[in-house]
Amino acid sequence: MDQPTVAFYSANAQTVAARYESVISSLSSHFSTAFRPHSKLLDIGFGSGRDLAVLVEQGHDCYGVDPTKELIAEAQTYHPELVGRLVQGALPELVPPFGGAFDGVLCSAVLMHIPSDELPMAAKSITNCLRPQGRLLYSVPCKRLDLVVGDRDANSRLFVPDQHDRIQRIFGDLGMSLVSSWTNEDSMGRDAVEWKSVLMELGPQ
């Protein structure tokens, strides 16, 4: 994971978590169709734990990893049901946590923070977390008009834009097939941001 980006989330965890908790993720409306009932799920880069909490309510066995200990603390404060289910970890080199063999992985607004040359390694780490026929639901920006220097925003966070086709091909080369994809508006109402969400499934092994 890009280090200036991690540093921002670490230093601003309280503000970031409060902002995430103030809105409902548009991606959450797809959880019930994306993941099979009573799945063991991993959220990579869970932020405030908002999406994990929704998945727990839906009856899933949920776990999460995040690069920052500060966001882990915030998530456990907002959602005490996640205590003991969150650990520190980051892409691209992520060892499958909690025994691996997940039925599904959620990776919402994370892959954009990974340098392009590290994406194949990150994708391999994600697929290693999945059991055969496990599902991956991820979202990346297909429009990001607020970048100021290269692919960075005013807070120096890395946002590699409009690479959803490349990411899908990388996962395809690792044995994953497309289930569905869609474009959605930004949950926080930012006109400069639009998202591409993709649901893929790992083949039988």
- Structure token digits, residue 185: 């508006």
> Which residues contact residue 124 at a Cβ distance below 8 angstroms, ignoring those fewer than 6 apart?
174
- Cβ atoms of 118 and 93 within 8 Å: the answer is no
pLDDT < 70 stretches in the chain = 143-148, 162, 185-193, 205
Report pLDDT for 193. 65
Q: Which residue range forms the structural domain that includes residue 21?
A: 3-202
pTM of the model: 0.92
CATH number at residue 189: 3.40.50.150
If one counts the domains in the chain, the total is 1
Helix and strand totals (H; E) in the chain: 7, 7
Model pLDDT for residues 18-32, shown as the tens digit of each residue: 999 998 888 899 999
Cβ-based neighbour number of residue 186 at 10 Å? 17
**Of residues 60, 14, 40, 34, the one with CA closest to residue 139:** 34
